């Protein structure tokens, strides 16, 4: 309504004013305004005043009255189309309409703004083709059309006539065909060319070399093919970064010549060739590249042979990734000459031999991943010298010997994974007391023996611990109850005995506990029954006795959780009942005689064979921690179904039946590429079926969106990411089958509660808000740091955070995610935001990707920056502040003239009460608040202040100042634990 009133006023002001020189550019601006509407009046502030030079976003010529030089309406939440009337701004030099919701086609009339030097229309919903008339803009220096839904070919004339162009960004669209840079193209001034994430094909045009001033080229995530050009990039002396990853480029014997040609690029810093079709060996010429190189990405190709020793000549490298190839031989000890290296990935190759002792000579090494090889020998003591080491991943090798005590000196280590090796001996106390471990310790599937060290209790911030499938013995130390943040504990398939300590069940964050296949005895501790967080429990194949309670977590468990404990009884299906009917003494003679006949053979059998059976059974019953679990999706079968071995096969007919024939009554959400239906399978399972409209969007957009969502969940698995049940993919039908999220999404809880009495009664307490924020942070940390391939979500916002039945949050909707690897099969499997309804603020496209949604987009994206994990951190910061304040980021911009974080910062720390709604504080522990308001208020102020500080830190303007999601997840885990402790303390004092 505000926009309608504004438009009416403007039209009244324009009535009776003839178009004359005195009017200047006012009529053109008013005509432009007719085609748009805004979400708030403040987005076009002062557009009612007579002087257009005072209008928001308008800058006028100094000497020519009422003539507009610049029109900058970026990030204003404008909706509509771009009017051709804008051509009336004949003196216009800068037009920036980026980060809005403009739709429709780009008006060809823009080509007649002959004085235009900068045209920025990025991050909108523009469709159609690029008008060839833009080639008429002879003065154009800066062109950015990225992040739209543009399709068709890039006009040949655009690169032939625009001789002044310095910056061209057409990335994140659906542009097809070959790159139209021909010998007659006049791009002499071009410095930056960004065409990534389109559907461009064909070879890299040799004529790019004519643009000798090029500094940056990004062509990744397309369908470019052919051989790497040999005599092209070497002619670009100013080239600093070259990104060609995730295409179909081959080397075919010329990788050596290609790298030699790059040796002429003395300023070059980054080279990305990941995810192509490179075969053969890495040639020694890699050592001839510029000493200024900082990053090299050769992962996910088919490279063979040894790692060339002279790669160590690149002494300024900070990042080297050779993972997921078929490299063999040993790791060259001279790699330690890379003194500035921070991250080294050599995983999933065929590297053999010992781990070089010289690794300890790399002072800045923070991540070392050499997992998934056939390395042997012992773990070097020299790792103790790596003072910056945060992640050490050695799993899936053939390492033997003891775990070195010296690893305990790596006092910044956050992740340690030595699983699936042949390590023996006991767990050193020095390693067990690594207080810095924040995420997980995995020593499973080795030959470790001896007792569990009580020093494990010092890992008070660790989230997951897996020591399963070893030969550990002795009692479970009650000191493990000090691991306050522990959520996953797996001690299965060992020889632990004694009673289960009550301190384990009392862990306040514990969600999964697997103690199966041990020799534990005694009764079940009461603390397990009282646990409010425990979700999965496996105590099978032990010697436990007594009655199994029928409430708490036990109410949701099946008999398989207790199988192999003959002295346990209870009301759970599959477990013997505790009440036995009276029997006649004479009837008891029969089993006694039977026992006498067959008892001796059975005793022999159980003495010899039972341990083997128990070991096999434990493999079936053992929990897999989601942090370590991987899902491998198979290709489609003849019926067009896609399934994994972990999930059931669901036919098309079953989907039709479950959704009532995909009836309108079953629709629970819709978006650009289709609808989401609620379904009920015959076995009672509730599902969400996301069916793609294959005719939606531009060519191949729906299939591309399907593929992107598939690629994420095909490679990732985490408790806080949407999980897949299965998928169907046929030429005429593509559907994702996902679990139904009974509590909807976070947006509904933040805003729709105001209109829904049902949601309003339930409300979202501060404790729940912290848990949800912690869940989201963990899911994003996994995507950024621990996933098999790094994923940038690109569109983190409340509607993409789904809530299951117990309000556990899962991150969903990967339709525009930025993947490190693009899959090769359109018929993959994945998941998306079941139940998530698309909004105008989100561009859900495939190749035409936005960097996010309005209000959540990192500021560097508007400056030509690429999607990065730093952008996701920014979005999380905005989401966190939105949860605290109850205000959408767009609402604050339009009503306060500030971004959400600027508005919150202006009230921090002394007047946070002005930005935090009162009902947030009143919704937590209401009874306690009424009885002891001072103590309750003090607790809430502490928590809210911590959340605000974290939100402001994440949403800082500079990407380099933002924390990593790994650090954010840790801080949220600490805050969740502190809030739980404070709540328990206050509740205890209230009872007293």
Tell me the pLDDT band of 961, cut-offs 50, 70 and 90: confident
Tell me the pLDDT band of 241, cut-offs 50, 70 and 90: very high
Question: Which CATH number do you get for residue 14?
Answer: 3.80.10.10
Considering the domain architecture, whether residues 169 and 32 belong to the same structural domain is answered as yes
Domain final residue pick, 197, 225, 260: 197
Q: How far is CA 587 from the centre of its chain?
A: 64
pLDDT single digits (tens) 82-93: 999 999 999 999
Residue 921 within any structural domain of the chain: yes
Rounded Cα–Cα distance for residues 192 and 144 (Å)? 11
Q: Which of 732, 755, 753 is nearest to 743 (CA)?
A: 753
265: which residues sit within 8 A by CB, 6+ positions away? 233, 234, 236, 237, 239, 290
Average pLDDT of the residues in 863-875: 79
- Looking at residue 784, the DSSP 8-state letter turns out to be I
pLDDT single digits (tens) 665-681: 888 776 555 678 888 88
Average pLDDT of the residues in 786-812: 84
Tell me the pLDDT band of 442, cut-offs 50, 70 and 90: very high
Considering the domain architecture, whether residues 564 and 698 belong to the same structural domain is answered as no
Residue 391 within any structural domain of the chain: no
Considering the domain architecture, whether residues 593 and 735 belong to the same structural domain is answered as no
- Torsion angles phi and psi, residue 37, rounded to 5: -140, 160
Q: Which helix (H) or strand (E) holds 314?
A: none
Considering the domain architecture, whether residues 759 and 836 belong to the same structural domain is answered as yes
Q: Which of 816, 891, 669, 667 is nearest to 125 (CA)?
A: 816
Considering the domain architecture, whether residues 763 and 899 belong to the same structural domain is answered as yes
Considering the domain architecture, whether residues 616 and 656 belong to the same structural domain is answered as no
Residue 365 within any structural domain of the chain: no
Sequence-separated contacts (24+) of 492-495 with Cβ below 8 Å: 492/468, 492/516, 492/517, 492/518, 492/538, 492/618, 492/622, 492/623, 493/468, 493/469, 493/517, 493/518, 493/615, 493/618, 493/619, 493/622, 494/467, 494/468, 494/469, 494/470, 494/518, 495/471, 495/519
Residue 122 within any structural domain of the chain: yes
Domain final residue pick, 137, 168, 197: 197
Residue 874 within any structural domain of the chain: yes
3-state secondary structure of 540: coil
Residues above pLDDT 90, as percent of the chain: 43
Question: Looking at 795, 813, 872, 967, which residue is catalytic?
Answer: 795
Active site residue 169: no
- Count CB atoms within 10 A of the CB of residue 597: 9
Tell me the pLDDT band of 723, cut-offs 50, 70 and 90: confident
Contact 830, 712 (CB under 8 A): yes
Rounded Cα–Cα distance for residues 937 and 920 (Å)? 11
pLDDT single digits (tens) 623-650: 333 333 222 223 333 333 333 334 456 7
- Count CB atoms within 10 A of the CB of residue 891: 18
Lowest mean pLDDT among 274-278, 307-311, 475-479, 656-660: 656-660
Lowest mean pLDDT among 198-202, 278-282, 318-322, 828-832: 828-832
Considering the domain architecture, whether residues 645 and 563 belong to the same structural domain is answered as no
Kind of pairing between the strands at 78-81 and 58-60: unpaired
Residue 132 within any structural domain of the chain: yes
185 DSSP β-pair partners: none
Domain final residue pick, 162, 178, 197: 197
pLDDT at 830: 30
Tell me the pLDDT band of 819, cut-offs 50, 70 and 90: low
Contact 485, 461 (CB under 8 A): yes
Which residues of 211-345 form beta strands (DSSP E)?
216-218, 223-227, 241-243, 248-250, 270-272, 279-281, 295-297, 302-304, 319-321, 343-345
Q: What is the pTM of this model?
A: 0.63
Considering the domain architecture, whether residues 33 and 64 belong to the same structural domain is answered as yes
Question: Which CATH number do you get for residue 850?
Answer: 1.10.510.10
Considering the domain architecture, whether residues 605 and 719 belong to the same structural domain is answered as no
Lowest mean pLDDT among 47-61, 308-322, 342-356: 47-61
Kind of pairing between the strands at 667-671 and 674-680: antiparallel
Per the annotation, does 582 bind a ligand? no
Residue 239 within any structural domain of the chain: no
Lowest mean pLDDT among 247-251, 281-285, 420-424, 788-792: 788-792
Average pLDDT of the residues in 424-430: 95
Considering the domain architecture, whether residues 711 and 858 belong to the same structural domain is answered as yes
Q: How far is CA 984 from the centre of its chain?
A: 33
Residue 218 within any structural domain of the chain: no
Query: The domain containing residue 742 runs over which residues?
Result: 641-990
- HSE (side-chain half, CA atoms, 13 Å) at 337: 14
Q: How far is CA 630 from the centre of its chain?
A: 15
3-state secondary structure 156-214: HHHHHHCCCCCEEECCCCEEEECCCCCCCCCCCCCCEEECCCCEEEECCCHHHHHCCCC
pLDDT at 818: 59
Q: Above 70 in pLDDT, residue 76?
A: yes
Rounded Cα–Cα distance for residues 801 and 992 (Å)? 39
Tell me the pLDDT band of 718, cut-offs 50, 70 and 90: confident
Considering the domain architecture, whether residues 105 and 183 belong to the same structural domain is answered as yes
Domain count, the chain: 3
Q: 223 or 895: whose pLDDT is higher?
A: 223
Considering the domain architecture, whether residues 612 and 659 belong to the same structural domain is answered as no
């Amino acid at each position: 309504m505000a926009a309608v009133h504004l438009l009416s006023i403007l039209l009244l002001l324009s009535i009776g004013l003839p178009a004359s020189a005195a009017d200047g550019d006012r009529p053109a601006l008013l005509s432009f305004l007719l085609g748009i509407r805004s979400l708030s009046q403040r987005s076009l502030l002062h557009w009612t005043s007579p002087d257009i030079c005072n209008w928001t976003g308008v800058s006028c010529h100094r000497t020519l009255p009422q003539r507009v030089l610049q029109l900058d309406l970026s990030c204003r939440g404008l909706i509509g189309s771009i009017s051709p009337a804008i051509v009336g701004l004949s003196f216009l030099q800068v037009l920036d309409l980026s980060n809005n919701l403009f739709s429709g086609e780009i008006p060809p009339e823009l080509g007649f703004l002959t004085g235009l030097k900068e045209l920025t229309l990025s991050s909108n919903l523009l469709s159609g083709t690029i008008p060839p008339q833009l080639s008429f803009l002879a003065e154009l220096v800066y062109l950015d059309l990225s992040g739209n839904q543009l399709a068709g070919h890039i006009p040949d004339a655009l690169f032939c006539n625009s001789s002044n162009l310095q910056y061209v960004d057409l990335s994140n669209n659906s542009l097809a065909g070959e790159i139209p840079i021909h010998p007659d193209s006049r791009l002499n001034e071009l410095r930056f060319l960004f065409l990534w994430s389109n559907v461009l094909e064909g070879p890299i045009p040799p004529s790019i070399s004519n643009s000798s001033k090029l500094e940056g080229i990004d062509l990744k995530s397309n369908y470019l093919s052919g051989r790497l050009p040999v005599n092209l990039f070497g002619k670009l002396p100013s080239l600093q970064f070259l990104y060609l990853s995730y295409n179909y480029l081959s080397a075919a014997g010329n990788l050596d010549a290609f790298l030699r040609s790059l040796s002429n690029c003395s300023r070059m810093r980054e080279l990305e060739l990941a995810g192509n079709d490179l075969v053969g060996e890495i040639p020694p010429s890699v050592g001839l590249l510029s000493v200024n190189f900082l990053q090299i990405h050769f992962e996910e190709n088919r490279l063979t042979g040894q790692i060339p020793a002279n790669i160590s000549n690149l002494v300024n490298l900070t990042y080297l990734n050779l993972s997921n190839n078929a490299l063999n031989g040993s790791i060259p000890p001279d790699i330690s000459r890379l003194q500035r290296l921070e991250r080294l990935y050599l995983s999933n190759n065929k590297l053999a031999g010992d781990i070089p002792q010289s690794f300890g000579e790399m002072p800045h090494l923070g991540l070392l991943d050499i997992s998934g090889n056939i390395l042997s020998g012992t773990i070097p003591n020299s790792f103790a010298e790596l003072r910056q080491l945060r992640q050490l991943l050695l799993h899936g090798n053939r390492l033997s010997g003891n775990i070195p005590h010296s690893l305990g000196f790596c006092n910044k280590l956050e992740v340690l994974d030595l699983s699936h090796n042949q390590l023996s001996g006991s767990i050193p106390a020095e390693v067990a007391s690594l207080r810095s471990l924040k995420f997980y310790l995995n020593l499973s599937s080795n030959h470790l023996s001896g007792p569990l060290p009580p020093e494990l209790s010092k890992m008070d911030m660790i989230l997951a611990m897996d020591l399963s499938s070893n030969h550990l013995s002795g009692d479970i130390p009650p000191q493990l109850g000090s691991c306050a943040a522990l959520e996953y504990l797996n001690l299965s398939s060992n020889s632990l005995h004694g009673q289960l300590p009550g301190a384990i069940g009392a862990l306040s964050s514990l969600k999964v506990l697997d103690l199966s296949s041990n020799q534990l005895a005694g009764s079940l501790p009461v603390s397990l029954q009282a646990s409010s967080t425990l979700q999965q429990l496996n105590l099978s194949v032990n010697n436990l006795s007594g009655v199994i309670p029928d409430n708490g977590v036990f109410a949701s468990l099946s008999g398989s959780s207790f199988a192999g404990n003959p002295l346990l009884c209870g009301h759970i299906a599959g477990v013997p009942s505790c009440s036995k009917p009276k029997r006649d003494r004479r009837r008891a003679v029969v089993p006694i005689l039977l026992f006498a006949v067959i008892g001796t053979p059975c005793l022999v059998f159980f003495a010899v064979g039972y341990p083997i059976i128990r070991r096999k059974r434990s493999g079936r019953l053992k929990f897999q921690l989601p942090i370590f679990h991987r899902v491998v999706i198979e290709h489609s079968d003849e019926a067009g179904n896609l399934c994994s071995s972990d999930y059931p096969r669901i036919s098309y007919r079953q989907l039709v039946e479950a959704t009532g024939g995909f009836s309108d009554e079953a629709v629970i959400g819709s978006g650009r590429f289709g609808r989401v239906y609620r379904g009920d399978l015959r076995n009672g399972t509730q599902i969400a079926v996301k069916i793609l409209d294959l005719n939606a969007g531009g060519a191949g957009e729906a299939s591309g969106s399907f593929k992107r969502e598939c690629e994420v969940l095909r490679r990732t698995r985490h408790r806080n990411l949407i999980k897949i049940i299965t998928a169907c993919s046929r030429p005429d039908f593509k559907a994702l089958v996902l679990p139904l999220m009974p509590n909807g999404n976070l947006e509904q809880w933040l805003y729709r509660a105001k209109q829904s009495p049902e949601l309003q009664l339930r409300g979202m307490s501060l404790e729940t808000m912290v848990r949800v924020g912690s869940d989201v942070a963990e899911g994003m940390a996994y995507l950024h740091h621990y996933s098999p391939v790094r994923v940038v979500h690109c569109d983190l916002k409340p509607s993409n955070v789904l809530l299951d039945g117990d309000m556990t949050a899962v991150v969903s909707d990967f339709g525009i995610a930025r993947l490190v690897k693009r899959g090769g099969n359109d018929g993959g499997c994945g998941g998306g935001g079941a139940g998530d309804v698309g909004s105008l603020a989100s561009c859900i496209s495939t190749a035409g990707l936005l960097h996010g949604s309005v209000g959540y987009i990192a500021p560097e994206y508007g400056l030509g920056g690429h999607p990065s994990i730093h952008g996701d951190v920014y979005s999380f910061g905005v989401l966190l502040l939105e949860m605290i304040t109850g205000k959408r980021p767009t609402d604050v911009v339009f009503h306060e003239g500030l971004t959400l974080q600027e508005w919150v910062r202006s009230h921090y720390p002394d007047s946070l009460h002005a930005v935090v709604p009162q009902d947030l504080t009143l919704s937590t522990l209401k009874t306690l608040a009424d009885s002891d308001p001072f103590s309750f208020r003090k607790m809430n102020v502490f928590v809210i202040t911590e959340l605000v500080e974290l939100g402001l830190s994440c949403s800082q303007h500079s990407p380099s100042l933002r924390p990593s999601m790994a650090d954010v997840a840790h801080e949220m885990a600490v805050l969740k634990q502190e809030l739980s402790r404070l709540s328990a303390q206050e509740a205890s004092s209230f009872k007293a």
